[in-house]
Each structure stands twice: as C-alpha cells, then as structure tokens.
Amino acid sequence: MFSTRRLVYLALLLAMATALHVLEGLFPIPLPFPGVKLGLANIVTLLVLYLYDLRAAMTVAIARVLLGSLLGGTFFAPAFFLGLTGAVISTLVMALLVKKTSCFSPLGISLSGAVSHNLGQLLMASFLLQNQAIFFYLPILLLGAIPTGLMTGYLLQGLLERLEEAGILAELNRN
C-alpha cells in the first residue's frame, strides 16, 4: 500500500540508519579482534520492524548498507558483501521473532539479530575466501554480540517507550 506519510517516515529512518552506520564506522571498538561492532544501525532496522513490516525493514536495511558503503568508500568491497549478507539475514531472523513470537523483549530480539548478523557475515566471508577456517572466529564474534546486541536492544526499548509516551507510536500506527 502506498502512503506518502509512510514513505517520508521510512526515508527519515533510513537517513538515521545510514548516519548511525557511518558514525559507527568512524569509531571502531578498541578490541584486539576486528569485526566486533556495536551495531547501532540495527536499532533502526528493528524499530522499522516494530512500526511497519518485514518489507519495509528489509528495504531500510539493504538501502542503509548500500548508502553506508558508498559513503565509507567500501562499495562492492568484501566488507560491503559481508555487511549486506549480515543485514539481510539478521532482518529476516528478527522479523520472524517480532511477528511470529511474543516471548522476546526488544533485548532478546536485538541479541538474536546481532548473532544472526555475525553468522551471515561469516557465511559470506567463508564463501568469498573459499576458506572454512574463518569459522574459528565465530565464538569471539558471538561473545561480542551479547553485550552489543543487548545494548542496542536496551536503547530500542527506551526509544519505544519514549515514542509511546509522546504519542508518536499511536500516530504512526494509524497509517
């Protein structure tokens, strides 16, 4: 269903997601292992899932990775394909949990998003490198995904409450 209001909101959310994506790229976590990220942009993907549907969330996620890599200069570089695969898979998993289950809070959903993002990235990496040894890296990424996934979930939880209080959630839901 086409709605101008929906289009505008999604565009705004996409801009936010892209900004977060780029911002995060500027401040890598100073851990001795690369690849552990906060995943701030995932907040927006998840928010879109809560507000709209899988199609909207997937659009925002993919467009965010495209725009982010264009801005970061990694367009069609390996990092781009890794990010894209991670974003697509984590959006699918989170959509499943948000729309089909009710036992998870935003924290749990966000954590599963972070975990599936890492899984997707590694799948793509092992495909690109033709090298399965890279899966030895998974435990470190998984461990890193726990606090980062929970933190973004926590932020989203707070955001949803604020939106609720301000009546924006109800307003959005009218569309």
Contact footprint for another protein (CB under 8 A): 31-36, 73-74, 77-79, 101, 103-105, 107-108, 111-112, 115, 128-131, 133-134, 136-140, 142-148, 150-151, 154
With beta carbons less than 8 A apart as the criterion, state whether 80 and 74 touch: yes
Nearer to another protein, 16 or 154 (CB): 154
Which one, 62 or 104, has the nearer CB to another protein? Answer: 104
Which residue lies nearer to another protein by CB, 15 or 150? 150
Please state the closest distance from residue 113 (CB atom) to another protein, in A.
11
Q: What amino acid occupies position 95?
A: A
Supply the minimum distance, in Å, between the C-beta of residue 40 and another protein.
14
**Helix (H/G/I), strand (E/B), else coil: 9:** helix
For the bound state, the minimum distance from the C-beta of residue 19 to another protein, rounded and expressed in Å, comes to: 22
56 or 109, CB closer to another protein?
109
The alpha carbon of 18 is separated from its chain's Cα centroid by a whole number of angstroms, namely: 11
- The whole-angstrom separation of Cα 152 and Cα 132 is 30
Residue 91 parent element (H or E):
helix 78-100
Q: How far is the CB of 38 from another protein (least distance, A)?
A: 10
Write b or e for each residue in 81-98: b if 16 or more Cβ atoms lie within 10 A of its Cβ, otherwise e. bbbbbbbbbbbbbbbebb
